[in-house]
């Protein structure tokens, strides 16, 4: 597929804009619109320097675009995968013909090597292979520098038997060196340790652009050892075409716009970051491997693909939804009682999963919880809420929340310990933290007693402030359910736990209490984002007369001795410039406030 197929969804920005903050800030705002577009920046600048390569952002702009990229409905792809998984020995001629068709689809997954490719029209080697040729972006003010954000990073095992591609950010250190953000749990990191143990140089190639499906495949949570481009062949129905790189023996897609080739010396590590990440917080500085650039190749007229991550909603909302739908059949192989699941983008995917099952016996939800927490990237999920098959659709968030709160029972909460994503900033220790599971599959037998009474917000605030003056505001949600949620904003001069101990006496007015020390009390969308980011269930969930949840930013008052990262926020003067240029349109001031842009 090429960009001509997406022409109707592309918005061209001819206004000269800087690769530092200005281009990514406009893409950040575009992604939050009701009907986002792909943005093509034809005049990327850095100061007075004009790049001759246009920047393409927000390529997975919306649901329609995603369907165009995949070439078919996502559920149809999932059905094809499910059909393969459930394939049985054929008995009749008709069965044999159907089986042949399925096996032919598998044949299409095998990559084919070609000798010449459009991605090698221009070849820059040695000193000419300068990263400064490319319009690489600095997305956020506190970023450690410029980052390639949509690179398909190709590697292989030391013995050559395993090939891998993943999408990892790459920090530009200088013209010939990139930081490889290979998180410890990722496949490329596992391959890296093979080379490190053997003390050998590791070949690395980074492909940018080409068919957008390559990029999505690089993010796909394939089982270890399976080359992700095979999924490309399965979806496209034709063998993926790869070409050998000029300066190493890796292969990359023939239609890539730009390819950066080089190697990684396992002995060389350098501080990478900070970086405004998809969690909406910065990831902090930390040493990571370094890629030495040897060669850069491009198409005749390349585009530079980039994405912007930060506070939701963003482009990863649509990429993540595709992953969710397509991988449901594979997830069912380890959790066969799973009916459906959803990972809301404001739970930044790994922080919250909603799962629908048909419970058949006591503890069934617990069984599925544990099976999910042990499966690949699902093992990074922090909070899982399970509902029954009678629940509303999983993306009908308002009615689903009412269902959950009417079924909520504090006796059906599971808190355990496991691995967490390396990007998680709130865990009790790096890489290890709490897991929260809630079984809301059946209506709770616990009903509020006659003494339970919902107060107006003003009356409740007055009552709570009498016992704790640090409480600044309250807002109650879903008061018509059996378990209303009360959000309390407080001044962080003591821990939320201390305040909880004082107010838990008010069980006649409170059921679930959420503490924050930020400004999301009247913004439910961003409230979910903040709280699911900020809690470690082992430390921040308290089950007592009422249930308390500490969604505040942590510090030494909470016994939190790690560094708490800053929010990812836009730069006010950049937003003002974009407004003055008339480039911010199609989004209201209310939405700009809601998504914390202004």
Q: What is the pLDDT of residue 182?
A: 93
Q: Give domain status of residue 568, yes or no.
A: no
Q: What is the pLDDT of residue 150?
A: 98
pLDDT in tens, 279-333: 999 999 999 999 999 999 999 999 999 999 999 999 999 999 999 999 999 899 8
* 271/341 same-domain check: no
What are residue 271's phi and psi, to 5 degrees?
A: -65, 130
Q: Which residues contact 28 (CB under 8 A, 6 or more apart)?
A: 139, 308, 310, 314, 570, 597
d(CA 581, CA 542) in angstroms, rounded, equals: 50
d(CA 154, CA 127) in angstroms, rounded, equals: 23
* 404/276 same-domain check: no
d(CA 389, CA 531) in angstroms, rounded, equals: 27
* 95/177 same-domain check: yes
Closest CA to 411 of 368, 440, 389: 440
Q: Which residues contact 329 (CB under 8 A, 6 or more apart)?
A: 78, 79, 81, 82, 85
pLDDT in tens, 501-526: 999 999 999 999 999 999 999 999 99
Rounded alpha-carbon distances, angstroms, from residue 344 to 306, 319, 492: 23, 12, 29
Domain boundary among 400, 421, 440: 440
* 84/130 same-domain check: yes
Dig out the tokens for 59 from the structure: 């390529």
* 297/379 same-domain check: no
Q: Give me the domain span that covers residue 382.
A: 316-440
Beta bridge partners of 476: 486
3-state helix vs strand vs coil in the chain, percent to 5: 30, 25, 40
Q: Give domain status of residue 55, yes or no.
A: no
Beta bridge partners of 262: 204, 293
Q: Give domain status of residue 280, yes or no.
A: yes
d(CA 545, CA 448) in angstroms, rounded, equals: 12
* 276/336 same-domain check: no
d(CA 386, CA 354) in angstroms, rounded, equals: 6
* 339/294 same-domain check: no
Dig out the tokens for 326 from the structure: 């397509």
* 205/92 same-domain check: yes
Q: Give domain status of residue 85, yes or no.
A: yes
CB 554 within 8 A of CB 563: no
Q: Give domain status of residue 486, yes or no.
A: no
pLDDT in tens, 25-44: 999 999 999 999 999 999 99
Dig out the tokens for 160 from the structure: 């050559």
Dig out the tokens for 202 from the structure: 């590791």
Q: What is the pLDDT of residue 100?
A: 44
Domain boundary among 440, 475, 503: 440
Mean pLDDT of 159-175: 96
* 227/333 same-domain check: no
Beta-strand runs (E) in 460-555: 471-477, 485-490, 512-516, 541-543, 547-550
Closest CA to 439 of 365, 351, 382: 365
* 278/362 same-domain check: no
pLDDT tier, 380 (very low <50, low <70, confident <90, very high otherwise): very high
Count CB-CB contacts under 10 A for residue 32. Answer: 18
pLDDT in tens, 545-579: 999 999 999 999 999 999 999 999 999 999 999 99
* 332/293 same-domain check: no
The answer to whether residue 354 scores a pLDDT higher than 70 is: yes
* Sign of the alpha-carbon torsion through 505, 509, 512, 518: negative
419: domain CATH number?
3.40.1670.10
Q: How many domains are there within the chain?
A: 2
Q: Give domain status of residue 516, yes or no.
A: no
Mean pLDDT of 136-147: 98
267: domain CATH number?
2.30.110.10
Above pLDDT 70, what percent of the chain? 96
Average model confidence (pLDDT) across the chain: 94
Count CB-CB contacts under 10 A for residue 369. Answer: 26
Closest CA to 334 of 384, 369, 385, 382: 369
Beta bridge partners of 306: 57
Cα 108 to its chain centre, rounded Å, is 29
* 275/322 same-domain check: no
CB 167 within 8 A of CB 152: yes
Cis, peptide link before residue 328, omega less than 30° from 0: no
d(CA 139, CA 170) in angstroms, rounded, equals: 13
Above pLDDT 90, what percent of the chain? 86
Q: Give domain status of residue 269, yes or no.
A: yes
pLDDT in tens, 185-243: 888 899 999 999 999 999 999 999 999 999 999 999 988 889 999 999 999 999 999 99
Q: What is the pLDDT of residue 106?
A: 76
DSSP H/E element including 499: helix 496-503
Residue 451, Cβ density class (10 Å: 0-12 exposed, 13-18 middle, ≥19 buried): exposed
Q: What is the DSSP letter of 125?
A: E
The answer to whether residue 134 scores a pLDDT higher than 50 is: yes
pLDDT in tens, 235-280: 999 999 999 999 999 999 999 999 999 999 999 999 999 999 999 9
Domain boundary among 440, 457, 492: 440
End-to-end Cα spacing for the chain: 37
Q: Give domain status of residue 525, yes or no.
A: no
Q: What is the pLDDT of residue 96?
A: 43
Question: DSSP labels for 401-468?
Answer: HHHHHHH--GGGEEEEEEE--TT-SSSSBTTEEEEEEEEESS--S----TT--PPPHHHHHHHHHHH-
pLDDT in tens, 59-104: 999 999 999 999 999 999 999 888 877 655 555 545 444 544 555 5
């Amino acid at each position: 597929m090429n960009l001509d197929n997406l022409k109707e969804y592309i918005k061209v920005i001819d206004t000269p804009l800087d690769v530092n903050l200005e281009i990514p800030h406009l893409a950040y705002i575009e992604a939050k619109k009701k009907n986002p577009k792909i943005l093509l920046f034809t005049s990327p600048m850095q100061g007075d320097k004009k790049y001759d390569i246009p920047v393409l952002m927000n390529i997975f702009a919306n649901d329609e675009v995603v369907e165009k990229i995949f070439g078919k409905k996502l559920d149809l792809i999932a059905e094809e995968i499910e059909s393969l998984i459930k394939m049985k020995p054929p008995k009749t001629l008709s069965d044999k013909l159907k089986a042949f068709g399925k096996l032919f689809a598998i044949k299409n997954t095998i990559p084919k090597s070609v000798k010449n490719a459009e991605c090698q029209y221009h070849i820059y080697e040695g000193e000419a292979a300068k990263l400064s040729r490319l319009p690489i972006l600095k997305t956020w003010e506190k970023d450690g520098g410029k980052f390639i954000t949509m690179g398909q990073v190709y590697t292989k095992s030391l013995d050559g038997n395993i090939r891998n591609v993943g999408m990892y950010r790459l920090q530009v250190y200088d013209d010939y060196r990139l930081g490889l953000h290979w998180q410890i749990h990722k496949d490329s990191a596992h391959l890296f340790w093979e080379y490190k143990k053997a003390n050998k140089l590791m070949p690395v190639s980074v492909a940018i652009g080409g068919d957008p499906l390559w990029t999505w495949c690089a993010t796909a949570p394939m089982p270890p050892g399976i080359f992700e481009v095979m999924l490309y062949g399965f979806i496209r129905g034709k063998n993926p075409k790869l070409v050998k790189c000029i300066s190493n023996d890796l292969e990359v897609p023939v239609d890539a716009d730009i390819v950066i080739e080089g190697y990684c010396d396992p002995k060389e590590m350098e501080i990478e970051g900070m970086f405004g990440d998809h969690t909406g917080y910065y990831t902090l500085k930390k040493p990571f491997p370094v890629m030495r650039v040897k060669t850069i190749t491009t198409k005749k007229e390349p585009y530079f693909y980039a994405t912007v991550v930060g506070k939701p909603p963003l482009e990863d909302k649509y990429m993540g939804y595709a992953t969710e739908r397509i991988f449901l059949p594979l997830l069912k192989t380890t959790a066969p009682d799973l009916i459906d699941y959803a990972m809301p983008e404001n739970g930044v995917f790994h922080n919250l999963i909603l799962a629908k099952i048909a419970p058949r016996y006591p503890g069934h939800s617990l069984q599925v919880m544990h099976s999910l927490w042990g499966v690949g990237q699902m093992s990074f999920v922090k909070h899982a809420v399970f509902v029954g098959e009678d629940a509303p659709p999983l993306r009908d968030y308002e009615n689903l929340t009412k269902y959950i709160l009417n079924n909520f029972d504090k006796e059906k909460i599971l808190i355990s310990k496991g691995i967490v994503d390396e990007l998680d900033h709130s865990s009790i220790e790096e890489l290890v933290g709490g897991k929260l599971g809630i079984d809301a599959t059946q209506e709770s037998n616990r009903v509020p007693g006659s003494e339970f009474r919902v107060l107006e917000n003003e009356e409740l605030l007055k009552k709570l402030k009498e016992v704790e003056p640090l409480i600044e505001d309250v807002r109650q949600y879903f008061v018509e359910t059996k378990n209303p949620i009360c959000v309390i904003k407080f001044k962080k001069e003591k821990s939320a736990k201390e305040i909880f101990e004082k107010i838990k006496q008010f069980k006649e007015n409170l059921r679930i209490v959420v503490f924050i020390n930020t400004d999301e009390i009247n913004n439910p969308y961003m409230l979910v984002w903040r709280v699911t980011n900020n809690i470690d269930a082992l430390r921040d969930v308290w089950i007592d007369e009422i249930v308390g949840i500490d969604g505040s930013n942590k510090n030494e008052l909470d016994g939190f001795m790690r560094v708490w990262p800053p929010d990812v926020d836009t730069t006010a003067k950049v937003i003002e410039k974009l407004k003055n240029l008339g480039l911010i349109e199609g989004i209201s001031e209310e939405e700009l406030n809601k998504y914390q842009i202004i």
